[in-house]
Amino acid sequence: SAIPEIKSTHSLVAKHVTKEKWDKLSGIVTKTSGFTLAKAIACAVEFDNQHCGIYAGDFDSYRDFADVFDPIIQEYHGISADAKHTSDMDFSKITGNVNPDAPVHSTRIRVGRSIDGFGLSPGITKEQRLGVEKLFSSACKKFPADLAGDYYPLTGMDEKVRQQLVDDHFLFMSGDPNLKVAGMERDWPEGRGIFHNKEKSFLVWVNEEDQTRIISMQKGGDVREVFSRLARGIEAVRQSVKSASGKDFMLHEKYGYIHSCPTNLGTGMRASVHVDLPGWTKEGLDKLQARCEELALQPRGTRGESGGQTGITYDISNKHRLGYSEVQLVQTMSDGVNTLYKEDLELQ
């Protein structure tokens, strides 16, 4: 078939999906979930605002379409062609913590994990999606006491439960145009759901953008505690799934943990705090952005309860995902927040 017109002309897809590569790869259909290159690049074809513009429909996509994925991944993450990713979730290696005096509202760390043998969200079949949900919903019954809780499927969800999840900002919704075009909202809401423990400090989203999004969070700035809970939580999910199915998480020798979006490869980790930075706010957002860049951090404005920018509260997270271990990324975020806080006091 002819190469489609790519509307996102500045995207990595436009750069790396050449006619030559298209002719070579466009006829391939992946074994796990019948994914194709056309499906993978649907967002870059449909929209004109994509930076990356490609998703994987299963583990096979990264291998079968490697001629396209490899250069995109290398360029996006700034890694060399022979780089290998190393994971490290040993929370005892974190030194220090966020300064208790820093005005941190909350801390949240999330990762994605995918179970081998099932497709990824853009390509997963209906049966596979239900298979992931079934594995997880029985796995979560075996969690240790402090992680124990309930799984709430989106299908047939009680209105009271739904409202509570909305109030807690835990519920994910349908209707994201990107996820729709990428194929991630097929058969909605079937096979999707949310798990959280009693304290609401440990959450798992099932079958959203990734098969599982594992989240650890709490009020205040105790990054060490949040990271250690996350590490234990990931291990609890892994062991339960493995004992029930014999399957492990998808792990690529070069790209670490597999996610549907190549921008999340490696750790798939976003470690963030919400912190007040009145001094930096006075200095200006562009200055804060430049400083965060130097510290390998990413600042975002936070939305207040009413949805507007609240003024001085920022979401500060690690910038990198691939090429650094989880321990390194959490350490970078923790140290960086302390640096920003110290400088903020001087700027006030």
Task: Round to whole Å and give the CA distance between 4 and 25.
Answer: 13
- 346 part of the active site: no
* CA separation, residue 153 to residues 113, 127, 143, 341 (Å): 19, 16, 18, 40
- 261 part of the active site: yes
Segment (H or E) for 212: strand 212-219
Task: Round to whole Å and give the CA distance between 308 and 313.
Answer: 11
- 108 part of the active site: no
User: Could you identify the residue written with the tokens 């430049």?
Assistant: 290
- 186 part of the active site: no
**Catalytic, out of 32, 263, 313, 332:** 263
Radius of gyration of the chain (CA): 20
Under a CB-based contact definition with an 8 Å cutoff, are residues 99 and 341 in contact?
Answer: yes
Under a CB-based contact definition with an 8 Å cutoff, are residues 17 and 68 in contact?
Answer: yes
**Catalytic, out of 229, 270, 292, 302:** 270
**Catalytic, out of 108, 113, 129, 213:** 213
| Spatial CB neighbours of 163, under 8 Å, sequence gap ≥ 6 | none
Task: Round to whole Å and give the CA distance between 252 and 269.
Answer: 16
Q: How many residues does the chain have?
A: 348
Task: Round to whole Å and give the CA distance between 290 and 274.
Answer: 18
- 140 part of the active site: no
**Catalytic, out of 63, 162, 300, 303:** 300
- 300 part of the active site: yes
**Catalytic, out of 36, 107, 108, 110:** 110
**Catalytic, out of 133, 185, 208, 209:** 209
* CA separation, residue 216 to residues 63, 166, 222 (Å): 31, 18, 11
**Catalytic, out of 43, 52, 140, 261:** 261
- 113 part of the active site: no
- 263 part of the active site: yes
The closest of 77, 116, 134 to 268, measured between CA atoms, is: 77
* Segments in the chain forming alpha helices (H): 12-16, 19-25, 37-40, 42-46, 59-64, 66-77, 126-139, 159-167, 177-181, 223-245, 278-283, 285-294, 326-347
The DSSP string of 320-334 is: --SSS-HHHHHHHHH
User: Could you identify the residue written with the tokens 């597999």?
Assistant: 258
**Catalytic, out of 5, 294, 305, 346:** 305
What residues act catalytically? 110, 209, 213, 261, 263, 270, 300, 305
